[in-house]
């Protein structure tokens, strides 16, 4: 931990020293919630979000806040290490082109519904009002990347092994669940005359109420859907590799970890609901994934189980400028040259693409340095090629 603020009802413990004013004010709002527990934790990739800063960790007593999870419920990372080494640039370009043919990007979805057996199991869909309404649409979105900072990346570790890494979430079904329950919470909070101002964007639900239980159940479905989504994209990517390198490599078991969710956990001898919004579980021994920005290293890590962070770490590098600001101010040719000089196969073509340029993000090495008490680095991965949503 690098800094602690003690001026609010609860302390704000920070793994960064430089934080934008908007994110800090959001953290102060969290620290003054009457049902917030112990302290607020801010990871080194922290930046402003809606209601709760991205990179924030919040523990609540018997309360759940939809906006403290966010609209991309279950968004997270998966990665597979292979025994393959040394892929030529022309071969990489062919593979990335094939990946694009089987994985819709951005707002695109499949033209046919995907195999229903790949959808999450163990849920009573009839009891999930939003999921039930969106289920058919979700069949077309399963195995699609989405937009923003979502990506499929080929990487190489320090031993020369090729890795495949995917960052994606629950697509529109997660957004629909988040929006529905946030609107419901706002309506109920007004009815209950909640002391928390609506402007804070932190409308809440009692976790044991009918509405709170329904949200938690639908949220869990979206977490499972996001995992199924990443898994299908990874399987199809591995199929492409298998076709291109018949019998030449093996793949290790997939690593998967989410960074937008709420879960019941025990911390400081109390059962609470921990909200991680752009933060990753880092219990002792937990294997996690911390990606860099486009053109920088990513990391496979192992958690140290630091109770001060509620057993959490960062979920990435974190933005230093908004998307529109990046598009307005960054130099396209400079950003393209940076990637070309590193030999990275990329799709940075127009000023619109600058919202995901490396310069729009914090320095990943600085972020990793700031959380040495949260995780240990297992693998450092160098980017070879990237597909952005």
Strand (E) positions, 279-348?
Answer: 279-281, 287-290, 298-303, 312-314
Match 């809606």 to its residue by tokens: 50
Active site residues: 315
In what helix (H) or strand (E) does residue 270 lie, and over which residues does it extend? strand 270-277
Bridge partners (DSSP) of residue 266 are 271
> What does the alpha-carbon distance between residue 327 and residue 329 come to, in Å, rounded to a whole number?
6
Cβ-based neighbours of 294, under 8 Å, separated by 6 or more:
151, 339, 346, 348, 356, 357, 358, 383, 386, 388
Q: Which of 320, 299, 317 lies closest to 378, judged by CA?
A: 299
> What does the alpha-carbon distance between residue 359 and residue 362 come to, in Å, rounded to a whole number?
7
Query: By the 8 A CB rule, do 295 and 153 touch?
Result: no
Query: What's the token pair of residue 12?
Result: 């704000």
Q: How many helices (H) and strands (E) does the chain have?
A: 8, 17
């Amino acid at each position: 931990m690098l800094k602690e603020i003690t001026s609010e009802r609860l302390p704000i413990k920070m793994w960064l020293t430089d934080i934008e004013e908007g994110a800090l004010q959001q953290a102060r709002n969290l620290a003054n919630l009457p049902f917030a527990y112990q302290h607020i934790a801010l990871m080194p990739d922290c930046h402003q979000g809606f209601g709760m800063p991205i990179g924030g960790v919040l523990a609540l007593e018997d309360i759940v806040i939809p906006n403290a999870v966010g609209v991309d419920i279950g968004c997270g990372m998966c990665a597979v290490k292979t025994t393959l080494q040394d892929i030529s640039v022309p071969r990489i370009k062919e593979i990335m082109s094939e990946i694009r043919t089987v994985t819709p990007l951005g707002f695109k979805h499949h033209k046919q519904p995907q195999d229903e057996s790949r959808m999450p199991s163990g849920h009573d869909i009839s009891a999930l009002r939003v999921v039930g309404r969106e289920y058919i649409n979700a069949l077309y979105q399963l195995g699609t990347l989405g937009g923003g900072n979502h990506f499929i990346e080929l990487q190489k570790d320090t031993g020369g092994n090729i890795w495949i890494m995917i960052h994606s979430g629950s697509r529109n079904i997660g957004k629909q669940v988040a929006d529905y329950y946030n609107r419901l919470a706002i309506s109920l909070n007004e009815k209950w005359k909640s002391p928390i101002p609506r402007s804070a964007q932190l409308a809440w639900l009692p976790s044991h109420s009918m509405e709170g239980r329904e949200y938690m159940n639908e949220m869990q479905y979206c977490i499972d859907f996001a995992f199924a989504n990443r898994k299908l994209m990874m399987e199809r990517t591995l199929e492409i590799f298998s076709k291109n390198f018949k019998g030449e490599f093996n793949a290790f078991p997939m690593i998967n970890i989410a960074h937008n969710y709420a879960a019941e956990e025990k911390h400081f001898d109390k059962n609470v609901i921990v909200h991680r919004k752009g933060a990753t579980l880092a219990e002792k021994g937990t294997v996690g994934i911390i990606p860099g920005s486009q053109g920088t290293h990513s990391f496979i890590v192992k958690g140290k189980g630091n109770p001060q962070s509620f057993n959490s770490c960062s979920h990435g590098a974190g933005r230093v400028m908004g998307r529109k600001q990046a598009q307005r101010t960054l130099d396209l040719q400079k950003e393209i040259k940076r990637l070309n000089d590193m030999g990275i196969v990329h799709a940075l073509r127009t000023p619109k693409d600058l919202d995901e340029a490396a310069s729009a993000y914090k320095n990943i090495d600085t972020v990793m340095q700031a959380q040495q008490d949260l995780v240990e680095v297992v693998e450092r991965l160098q980017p070879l090629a990237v597909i952005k949503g």
